[in-house]
Structure formats: C-alpha cells, structure tokens
Chains A and B, each alone.
Chain A
Amino acid sequence: MELSNDTQLEMYWMMLLSRRLDERAWMLHRQGKIAFHISGIGQEAAQVGAAFALRRGEDWVTPYYRDLALMICLGYTPRDFLLALTGKQGEPTSGARQMPSHWSMRKANAVSHSAPVATQCSHAAGIGLAIKMRKEDKVVLATLGEGSTSQGEWYEAVNWAAIHHLPVIFMVENNQYAISVPADKQMAVASSADKACGMGLRGISVDGTDVYSVYRTVAEAVADARAGKGPTLVEARAYRLTPHSSDDDDRTYRSREEVDEHKKKDPLIVGRRILEEAGLLDQAKIDEMEARVKEMVDDAVKFAEQAPYPDVADAMFPVYAEEVRRG
C-alpha cells in the first residue's frame, strides 16, 4: 500500500484540479452564468484518497453530490462538469436532465444517483451482493454525508452488507453539517463510525483532510473486502468550507471565525505541506500545476459556452430501456 512519488503527486493534482474547477463554478454563479452549484470544497482529500484505494474503472462506486474530486479521479473531465453546470447538450451523465453534480459514469462503474439522500447505499449493497454471487474480485465504494446516516435507508443498506459479508466500503464524508444542522443533532455518538458496532461491521474514523491517511485506511478496507472479510464503515472527518449550495447562506448558522479556523486545515494546504516536507513539491512545480489547471478550466468554460442547449425533441426519451439509443 506504499504510494510512489508520482502517485502522491498525481493525488495532489486531482485535488487541485477539482478545487479550481469548483471555485470557478462559484465564480460563474456569482456572475449569473449558471443557476446552481453544490460544492466539494474541503472534502477533496477524502474523495481522492478513497478513489486511489480502488481499482478505478473495475471497482464500482455509488457516489453522492459532493464527489467532484472522486469523479475526476474516475475520468470525469472539466468539460463534462461545465456542460452539467450550464445544462448543455452532450452533458454525459444525464443528457442535462439532472441538476449539476448528480453523477453517473457507466464506463467507470460509477452509478447514477438521485437527490433523495442515502438511496445509493442499498444499491451499493445490491452491487456487492451481485459481485459475491458471481464470485468476482471487485468492491463497491458508497459515499454519503454524515447527516444522511440518519436515514433508515442507510441502516438497511449497511445491515444487508454486514449480514452477507458483502464487499462494500461505506465512506461517510463527515463535513460537520447537513445544510445548517450540525452533526451532534444527527447522532448521539461521537463519530458516525461508531454506528458500525451495532450492525456488526468494522468502523473506523480517519482524518479526512489528509489524503494519504484516507488512502491507507480505505485501501485496508478494500483489501479486507476483496479477501471476503465483508464491509467496512469509514468516516472521513472534514469540514464543509463553503455554504451548503449556491442557494444557502451559511452566515445564518455558523460564525466566520469557525470557518476561518477550519481553513487552516484545508486539505490542499495539508497535502501540500506533506509533499513539501517529503521534498516532492516546490513553488515552481505548484506554479506549473496551477497554470495547467487554469488552462483546462478556461478551456472547459469556453467549450460549454459555445455548446448548444439540448433539443427539447429529445426530452420525451428514454423513459424505458427499449427507447435507449446506443452509440
């Protein structure tokens, strides 16, 4: 589970790309160019760490709306994201039917999800069941927020995975809030990982701002799952550094001091420090990365601006599988 220098740098790159893309979305929203954005800022380390613990493209993922960085690790592109933000033709996850950040990428085994929270968790259990039935060497990663672990849906899914020793990793991205409601109003336990003991699976909480710690923890859970030892519940502790969405005003429920305090533990700062201390990263390299990111994001914005809107003639389809046009 040792990471090569190149891989460590690649992980930082994924976080950086996701961050700058996410920031651009906020800017476009302020400029009135897009209608909605829901952000993953603050959770990049959790997502990239988990993604790199998978065999990407082979293992399965049931993501949730904050997982921009996770999806980028699976091959989702800035152009894809900009098409989603603008609701333009060719948007690859849903044909611009879904709101932005409602992911799907079949070629990467990343399953389409909806807006009602936690519904993806029983799908993950079902995918795990199918993997087990077919005796295949794959695992499923299901992600969700800590508030969503209050849903009955989630308990049912975890219970299933535990009973049948399914190869599922449930990763709770605990960003401390569910819109405005803090975690201590969601659960009486200190960590959502503590909920595992009541259902008979391993639960482990990890610093979700350190991409390499998350990687090691999830990689271990993945190894266990592949070895037939069943599911693990991982909590990645992070902080939502932005409002819930572009429709939210977080000043109505939390102080600026609190947010500023957490900015010191920004996963990009943490990751950069680790790489600098290891002698893998310096200012020149960062400048080079930033320039490359900016180019990609600029390109994506331009690409989406020039793209046409979807044709309303296509909006009736495909409601049923028979109506799907392939290729």
Chain B
Amino acid sequence: MAEITLIDAIRQAMDEELARDENVFIVGEDVGKRGGVFRATVGLFDKYGEERVIDSPLAELSIVGVGIGAALYGMRPICEIQFADFIYPAFNQIVSEAAKMCYRSNGEWTVPMVIRAPYGGGIGGGLYHSQSVEAFFAHVPGLKVVVPSNPYDAKGLLKAAVRDPNPVIYLEPKKGYRLIRGEVPEGDYTVPIGPAKVTRQGSDLSVYAYGMMHYYTLQAADKLAGEGVNVEVVDLRTLYPVDKQTVLESVRKTGKALIVHEDNLTGGYGGEIAAIIAEEAFTDLDAPVRRLCGPDVPAVPFSHPLQDWFMPNPDKIAQAMRELAAY
C-alpha cells in the first residue's frame, strides 16, 4: 500500500468517482486549469474536460445553488468552496435549500451533493483563511457534516459522500493537506458516514477530536504514554449525525472526557459532545467534562505569536490531558 498525503487521498477519491459515475462533476473557483488553489483537483481538468471540472464564476452562493439544481436533476455535484471562510455567501442555499429540500417536499426531492471546503488555522492565513465552520452546519438537520483526519478516511469518506443521497459538508483540515500522510489502498473502498472511531485505546481518559486536532491529539497521547497516562482517543469523523454510542462507550470506560477543537469555545461543537456525556453518562464521570478550544475571539489572528496563542497544539493538548488525568 502506498503512503500518500491527505490532499492526494482527496484527489484520488474525486478522480475515481469521476471515472466511476458520469453524473459526478466538480464545480468551484479555479478548480479547472489551475487544479485548485490547494491543487486538490490537479490533473482532473485535463482528464475529464471543462464540462466536468467547471471553473465557476467567483460567486459561492451560486456554486452551491447551481449544484443543488443539478443534483435535483440527478447529477452528483462536488462543489468546492475555496476556503471555508468564504462559505457564508452560500449559507442560505445550504441551510434553507439543500438541508430542507427532502423534509419540505416530504421526500419528493433530495439533494445528493458534496460541498468540500478547506478549513482551519495554523497556516498564517489570518482571520479569513483560517476559520472553522463546522458548528454552523452541525446544527442543521438534513445536512451531514464530515471531517477526515487522515488520508485513508479522507478518501473513503469522500467517496461515501459522493454516493450519499443527501447534502454532505466535507471539511478538509488544510494544515494537514501535505503534513498528514498515511497508507491508502489504490482501489475502491468507502468509509461509512456516521461512525466515529476509537483510534487509540486507553483507560485513564477519553479525548474527542476531529480533523487537524485529532492528529495533534494522537501526538499528545503518545507523550502522555511516556508519563504513564493511558489516553483513549476518539476520532469523531462525522460530526452530524453524531455517533453517540461510540462517544458514550469510551467515556463509560475511562470516566473522564476532554474535547478538543480549534473552533472557538462558545457554542462550538464540543458543547454538544459535553451535553451528550452529561445527559447520558453523568454517573460514569469521575471528573467534570473539559473542553480545549480556540479562544472566543472572532477568528485566528495573522501574526505568528498571535496565531500560536489561538491554536491548540500538541503541547497544549498534553497539558489539558495531564490536568484532567490528575483530577
């Protein structure tokens, strides 16, 4: 099996899906000749042509709206939002249209589409090239929200998303695009949307994370192992609908829960995990649920020390683990 990067896995998934199903097409800004500003679609324009790898006008709302229309007709669009930070113009189409179509038509119409968006900080992108947007969409019934943390899942989840009959928001931890490597089989496979995954077995505390923060959490857990603390790590992978069972099973075993995300704390996705644990595993807890998140400022500042201050990293996560383990 070849070891490839996260972004290569994402490209492979799209390549294979374009080859598999002629209804699949890609639409977004600079996805064609340029192959995407992050090069996620490199080579696909030459291979599949301008009708299936479409350079859209610079207008996110209609990237999604046109995708919805095509999906209603029976196509399988993969819409790329260049940076998650620029998804807000399309918010109305995602939340009012894609998410509600099935329910509001009592199942007459469904919207099989994928919206891919690179998210997250730590890349010197400042306020508008660093945002995490998952909490907005993980609040919306009708959407599925997926965040891969490694190349194997990235490929399998994206293929599952393309084949899913619903709108799927697929958020890519862009800091990990070339940093995170892993083994990926060349042929066809999918990773089901829905289940979370225990990626490290442990007994002292459970840490819940996804995307880039999951990558850092594994590093921090290694460090803690050297200190004699046994950390269990859960990669949430699908944020909505949430895999309650895996969340609860882990905390029932360890009795302690830490949730890590880089999105800011208040109203963030971690609150939902904390609430699930509080409601359904209260008597299993040996310590208060903890959250390690970005601070409540509008977004990640540009200057390096400021960015470092904002971002959770393996050291900060290790420290939070230590404190919780010692409780």
Chain A residues at the B interface, C-beta cutoff of 8 Å? 60, 62, 93-95, 97-98, 102, 104, 106, 111-112, 114, 116, 119, 121-131, 133, 152-153, 156-157, 159-160, 163, 317-326
Contact = CB atoms under 8 A, between A and B. Distances in A.
Contacts of B70: 126-127, 129-130, 133
Nearest to A158: B62
B127 interface: no
Contacts of A152: 61, 89
A231 to B, nearest CB: 13
B66 A126 contact: yes
B41 interface: no
Contact of A126 (B71, B103, B105): B71
B319 interface: no
Contact of A133 (B25, B104, B141): B25
Given A114-B104, A122-B62, A126-B71, A160 B92 contact: no
Contacts of B110: 321, 324
Contacts of A111: 69, 72, 109
Contacts of B59: 156, 159-160
Given A94-B104, A159-B59, 4 more contacts: A94-B105, A104-B105, A122-B69, A317-B107
B101 interface: yes
B68 interface: yes
Interface string B39-72: 0000000000001100011010110111111111
Most chain A C-beta atoms within 10 Å of own C-beta, residue among B61, B71, B72, B97: B72
B320 interface: no
Contact of A318 (B73, B74, B93, B102): B102
B108 interface: yes
Contacts of B102: 318-321, 323-324
A126 B106 contact: no
B57 A159 contact: yes
A158 B141 CA distance: 30
A317 B106 CA distance: 8
Contact of B69 (A128, A317, A321): A128
A58 to B, nearest CB: 13
Contacts of B62: 122, 125, 153, 156-157, 159-160
B93 A122 contact: yes
B276 interface: no
Contacts of B89: 152
Nearest to A140: B69
Given A123-B97, A125-B66, A157-B65, A95 B106 contact: yes
A122 B142 contact: no
26 contacts: A93-B105, A93-B106, A94-B106, A98-B104, A104-B108, A111-B69, A111-B72, A112-B104, A116-B96, A122-B93, A124-B69, A125-B62, A125-B65, A125-B66, A126-B69, A129-B70, A133-B52, A153-B62, A156-B59, A157-B65, A160-B59, A163-B57, A318-B103, A320-B166, A323-B102, A324-B110
A317 B142 CA distance: 10
Nearest to B67: A126
B108 A112 contact: yes
Contacts of B67: 126
A313 B57 CA distance: 44
A318 B57 CA distance: 34
B194 to A, nearest CB: 11
A318 B107 contact: yes
A183 B25 CA distance: 39
A321 B105 contact: no
B252 interface: no
A325 B107 contact: yes
B116 interface: no
B112 interface: yes
Contact of A129 (B64, B66, B105, B109): B66
Contacts of B108: 93, 104, 106, 112
B75 interface: yes
B165 interface: yes
A104 B109 contact: yes
Nearest to B109: A112
B159 interface: no
Contact of A119 (B65, B107, B141): B65
A219 to B, nearest CB: 23
A112 B68 contact: no
Contacts of B107: 317-318, 321, 323-326
Interface in B13-31: 25
B291 interface: no
A104 B101 CA distance: 10
A98 B142 CA distance: 16
Given A104-B105, A114-B96, A321 B112 contact: yes
Interface in B68-97: 68-75, 77, 89, 92-93, 96-97
Contacts of A323: 102, 107
B106 A97 contact: yes
A153 to B, nearest CB: 6
